Structures are given as C-alpha cells and as structure tokens.
Amino acid sequence: MILMEKDLKVINDYISKGFVEILDWRGRLLEIASIMKDCYNRNYKKYNWLIFYELDEFIHLSNYINIKSFLKEPKFEKCKIIHLNLVCHTDSNNLYYEDKPLSERFPEIVPITKYEVKYLEIRSIVNSRISKDMFRHAYLFNRNLRSCNGYGNKSKYFNDHFSSEPDYTKYYIDHYYCKSTEEFINKLNKSDSFSTNTKYYLHKVEKYFNQSELTKEKVDMIEKGTGLNLSNFRNQLLNK
C-alpha cells in the first residue's frame, strides 16, 4: 500500500527501532507475487516463520495469548505452510469514521450462506525451512510440501489462494476490507502502485457492495468523494 504522511507518523517509532522496513514499490508494475517472493528471499534466513497478510487483516487465535505461542505448538513441527481462512466483515452500515476498535465498529460479517466463496480465501504463515526455489508466492507452493490449517491438520488441497476445506471456527483472519464508507473513499483516493484505470477502481467499489449493503446514501458519498460514475450501482438500486 502507499503510506501517507499521517501513516508514517504512526509507525515512525517502529521504523526507527528497526521493527518496520519500508520499501518503495511505486511506479513498478509488478505483481504482488513478485513482492512476496522478494520479501521471502530477503528474510527467510532471519526468521523461523514469515506471515503474509495485509494491513486490514488481523489474526484471530481463540485460545492463544500471542502468535509466538501458537507457532511453537508441536502440531506444526512437520508443517511447512499454515493456511488461515479469511472472515470478511461488512461496513455494518457505518458511513463515517469513529475512534473505536475495528472489532467494535464492524462486528457484522458477510453471511456465509450468501457469500461463502469469500471464506475460501486464505492467508499463509510460511516456514523458513522452505527452499526459496520452492517459494513462488505466499499461496502457491510445491504440492509435496505439507500444508495445514490452524489445528495442525493436513490440508487435502489448496488451489492458489483458496482452500477446498475452509475453517473459520477458532483460527482465522478477520478481514476489514470495507470499514466505513468515508474510510473506503479515502482508500480509493490513495494512489495505487498497480493500477490507475477507472475499471480497476470500479471493481473495488463492486467488491465493497458485494460485502456490504448497497444504499443510495453510500453511492452518493462515493461519487462525490471520488468523482467516479456509479450509474451501474444506481440502476441496481432501481431494480431492487
């Protein structure tokens, strides 16, 4: 993602202490897989595990104090990749930002019965014992490598970054893609290092409304805040 000045203020202490490293990929038309591979190649000798997830994603480990105690479990000794499913949260019909924890602001999740495919998506925790030659990106590996879920159970099959046997009971990733409408607009207005065409941003809006309720008020706000033409979404409202 592109870090704005206010973002840098928040993490500046972490940068100065060496906990965070900022790499500038702006203007480089590279797939996310290339960035992941670069990250793995630079860090796999330094750490036992590498975790690949985004800033709006949070690891949920029901009965563990922290990620270190989770990864030290004997059940992961033979595991090379731990796959955790995403649980996607709606905007809970919040239009504006509030200074409260995300879990309080957006408790509602996308209904499993309606959008079950969202829960098939995974994020990976990768063991550094994997050869860098076997690492293609954080979701696709040599099929001979043992992958498992948060229980340490062997996964029968994973296709790219989707699981054939999703699990989201105790160990999963909370994904806050939408947040409030105001925050979603700010997200759209940040320059993106991979694409600048209108179709790309309309796809983001479509994803937003796939996960959250489509309303006229939200469409009005997004159009006014971004300058995008959302006539297609207005037509959907008329056809409801």
Each residue's pLDDT tens digit, 117-134: 545 788 889 888 887 777
Domain stop point among 159, 175, 191: 175
CA distance linking residue 140 with residue 235, whole number of Å: 39
Mean pLDDT value across residues 87-110: 94
Which residues have C-beta within 8 Å of that of residue 23, sequence separation ≥ 6? none
DSSP, collapsed to helix, strand or coil, labels residue 58 as strand
- Looking at residue 146, what is its pLDDT? 82
Domain stop point among 126, 153, 175: 175
184 class by beta-carbon count within 10 Å (0-12 exposed, 13-18 middle, 19+ buried): buried
139 and 199 co-located in one domain: no
Q: Please report whether residue 63 resides in a domain.
A: yes
115 and 225 co-located in one domain: no
Contact 197, 183 (CB under 8 A): no
136 and 39 co-located in one domain: yes
Give the model's confidence band at 192: pLDDT under 50 very low, under 70 low, under 90 confident, else very high.
Answer: low
Give the model's confidence band at 161: pLDDT under 50 very low, under 70 low, under 90 confident, else very high.
Answer: low
Torsion of CA 60, 62, 65, 70, to 10 degrees: -80
- Looking at residue 3, what is its pLDDT? 52
220 and 150 co-located in one domain: no
59 and 171 co-located in one domain: yes
Q: Which domain holds residue 75?
A: 31-175
Say whether pTM exceeds 0.75.
yes
Mean pLDDT of the chain: 82
Q: Across 128-227, where does the E strand assignment appear? A: 135-137, 140-141, 147-148, 158-159, 162-163, 171-175
Q: Please report whether residue 165 resides in a domain.
A: yes
Q: Please report whether residue 24 resides in a domain.
A: no
**For the chain, how many helices (H) and strands (E)?**
8, 10
58 and 157 co-located in one domain: yes
186 and 158 co-located in one domain: no
113 and 60 co-located in one domain: yes
CA distance linking residue 209 with residue 105, whole number of Å: 18
150 and 198 co-located in one domain: no
- Looking at residue 38, what is its pLDDT? 85
Q: Please report whether residue 58 resides in a domain.
A: yes
- Looking at residue 138, what is its pLDDT? 64
197 and 142 co-located in one domain: no
- Looking at residue 176, what is its pLDDT? 94
Least confident segment among 12-26, 66-80, 116-130, 204-218: 116-130
170 and 206 co-located in one domain: no
Number of domains, the chain: 2
Q: Please report whether residue 53 resides in a domain.
A: yes
Q: Please report whether residue 16 resides in a domain.
A: no
Express as a percent the part of the chain with pLDDT over 90: 35
Q: Please report whether residue 9 resides in a domain.
A: no
Domain stop point among 175, 195, 220: 175
74 and 128 co-located in one domain: yes
- Looking at residue 23, what is its pLDDT? 80
Q: Please report whether residue 66 resides in a domain.
A: yes
